[in-house]
Amino acid sequence: MSSAARSWLLAPVHLAALATGAKSFRDNPIIGSPRLNRAGLHVARMRLAQRMAERRRAKLEPLISSEDRTAFRRDGFVVKPDFLPEADFAAVKRQALELAAPARQQQQGDAITRRIALDRWALSRLPALQAMLESPEWLGLVRYVGSSRLEPLVYIQTIFAQACAAPPDPQTRLHADTFHPTVKAWFFLTDTCAEDGPFVYVPGSHRPTRRRLAWERRKSLTARRSADFQAARGSPRITLEELPRLGLGAPKVFAVPENTLIVADTMGFHARGIAAGPSTRVEIWAYGRRNPFLPWLGLDPAAFPLLRDRAVPLYWSAMDICERLKLGRNPWRPAGITTPLDPPRPAARG
């Protein structure tokens, strides 16, 4: 089948994707159309998604303190040092770091990211961590920043910086995850120094200001044919030199001690810091992203009884099936049974 015929057949699908979180300029000819984006399509989706997120967040305000709401509106993130009482954190850290469980890993440049899914089986062995993940403070922050009553996907994540001979980790470039508000959270189980490649975020970059929208419009005109794979897939990169033109200051580097929680809207510009050498950081990492155009707060599929605490393994299995059907490669390769602090090993091919 010719590419033109395929485009016509898929046109209804591509059009329907405009009402979802679909973001790839390369994979969707409507989202990536320079003509439509010159007329304002990309910017219109951003504006509408932001308005709907603000309405949902207004309903979720009772979930967090006024101080945290003020910090988030100003910066795009909330930082909570000493998030857990000392004894509770000691139990969470001990249980998490001693857990031996099936893991997946992905190599990006010279970094390896390894994740252990906090599914039903894992959480049954981590009672202290399960109590934290079910606490109103944790859920309130994640849901408020994520602008919905979502059920976040949660992992024990280990990042091995400069773990192999390869080009630099692309995650060290400042970027936005997508065009609409979305949430990620990092609860650090180990101290993270400035030399270890800490989390980096540009304060205030979560706001779709006139300058940000103008920048997004310019990027959308050429993104479909960008040589940068991530940018073409809807995750735009920005340089330090461009930040002042958008009215933004320097990135904030989060060299933080263990037991620190950061919850951020990753529509804002963020990155992994560049490590001074090989290093390891371990964190409880959470992610939540829903259709940005839904007006209601609930109906998160990950919260359904058959999916709750099983969503990540099911997602990995579905990606494996797609790979076997030659529909795409699953970047998350099996890494065997491991603890979070075990050194990285060659990932299995299947």
The CATH number assigned to the domain holding 48 equals: 2.60.120
d(CA 241, CA 243) in angstroms, rounded, equals 6
Average pLDDT over all residues of the chain: 93
Question: What whole-number distance in Å separates Cα of residue 6 and Cα of residue 55?
Answer: 38
The residues, ordered by sequence, that sit 6+ positions from 119 with a Cβ below 8 Å of its Cβ are: 309, 310, 312, 313
Domain count for the chain:
1
The verdict on residue 21 lying in a domain is: yes
pLDDT score, position 40: 97
Structure-token pair, residue 85: 């009482």
Residue 46 covered by a domain = yes
**pLDDT tens, residue by residue, 145-155:** 999 998 899 99
Q: How confident is the model at residue 318 (pLDDT cuts 50, 70, 90)?
A: confident
pLDDT for 48 equals 98
Q: From the CA atom positions of the chain, what is the Rg in Å?
A: 20
Q: Find out whether 238 and 269 touch, Cβ atoms under 8 Å.
A: yes
CA gap 73, 75 in Å, rounded: 6
Specify if 345 maps to a domain: no
Partnered with residue 280 across adjacent β-strands are 160
How many Cβ atoms from other residues are within 10 Å of residue 306's Cβ?
8
Q: Is the pLDDT of residue 305 over 90?
A: no
Q: Which ranges constitute the DSSP H helices of 136-273?
A: 136-146, 210-222, 229-232
Q: Evaluate whether residue 330 is within a structural domain.
A: yes
CA distance 251 to 271: 9
Q: Is residue 297 part of a domain?
A: no
Give pairs for 205-208: CB < 8 Å, separation 24+: 205/76, 205/176, 205/243, 205/246, 205/248, 205/268, 205/269, 206/75, 206/76, 206/181, 206/264, 206/265, 206/267, 206/268, 207/76, 208/46, 208/47, 208/50
* Structural domain includes residue 117: yes
Could you list the residue range(s) of the whole structural domain that residue 11 is in? 3-292+302-338
Q: Is residue 349 part of a domain?
A: no
What's the rounded Cα separation, in Å, for the pair 129 and 321? 31
Choose between 347 and 116: higher pLDDT: 116
* Sequence-ordered strand ranges (E) for the chain: 77-80, 101-108, 111-117, 153-161, 183-188, 199-201, 252-254, 261-265, 270-272, 279-288, 333-338
1-46: pLDDT as tens digits: 545 456 667 789 999 999 999 999 999 999 999 999 999 999 999 9
Residue 77 has pLDDT above 90, yes or no: yes
User: 279 pLDDT exceeds 60?
Assistant: yes
Q: pLDDT above 90 covers what percent of the chain?
A: 84
Q: Is residue 346 part of a domain?
A: no
Residues in the chain: 350
Q: State phi, psi for 66 to the nearest 5 degrees.
A: -65, -35
